[in-house]
Structure 1
Amino acid sequence: MCDWRSTMRKHVAVHPEYSYVTPWEGKETADIVYDDKSGVLTRTLIDKGYLEGTHCMSKKPQYLIEVKTTPGDATRPFFVSKHQYNRMKECTDASRSPRGSCTAYMLIRVFNLTTSDIDFDVYMDPYALQQDGSLIFTEHTWHVVPAQGNEAA
């Protein structure tokens, strides 16, 4: 639970199984902040096709993971804040620096929440996916939809 650095933590403590969870008091950068010191998450993301094999392997990346949910299917818009959008851009710019630390931004989009067919998509580097047309961001409201025919990579 130490990687879950979200202000949403305060809401889960009402459930008896999670009564030990304390509110997050720090500045929120993402729902989950994970330092992949052992490289296990990076290796899994590479093996599943979400990352290229050369991505940050020698740098022990930090992952900023934002989880977005919708009750409907994967074509339904989901929302990001302006702060989250700016953080995505910062992480894209930082990942291009050969000397810089490696911070990767990931959106995990969970959908079909009200059905028995819950599923998810993983969007690594969503700002880059906007640049190549895979994700469509609508400025000011910052709702996001996958482009027609695009599956998460």
Structure 2
Amino acid sequence: NDALNLLLCGTKISFSLKKEKELWPIEANKAQIEQVFSNIIVNAVQAMPEGGEIKVNITNKKEENGWFLPTGKYIKIRIADTGMGINRDYLRKIFDPRFTTKEEGTGLGLAISSSIIKKYGGEIKATSKQGKGTLFVIYLPAI
């Protein structure tokens, strides 16, 4: 998409997208879901000033035991980067409104992203290893 090309223009960042051929449908506002992707990818680009990789993988996922999510069908979205990673203490706060480590940041991007995903009955989680990168996993209920 044009916005992604603009974000990556002039960087040494490669982008790959893999998805199942027949993804289950979800009920969500396209612009809001694009905003979630944009917020995460902007952060990934900023975490890789020397270049790196962003990989997105979208699959169908059945949750059967209801441990992490209510039992049902979901779309699972994994967004991984090879950036500098997020400090463990910061990782707990990244979805808090106004939390930022950037001089120019508002601290709203990931808070808004979390709010959007939860509004649709989904979940968003992040794991990170400093010096290795960050992984965001998003689950959205399928219809």
Q: TM-score, normalised to structure 2's length?
A: 0.34
Higher strand share: 2
Higher helix share: 2
Q: Which structure would you say has the larger RCO, counting Cα contacts within 8 Å and 6 or more residues apart?
A: 2
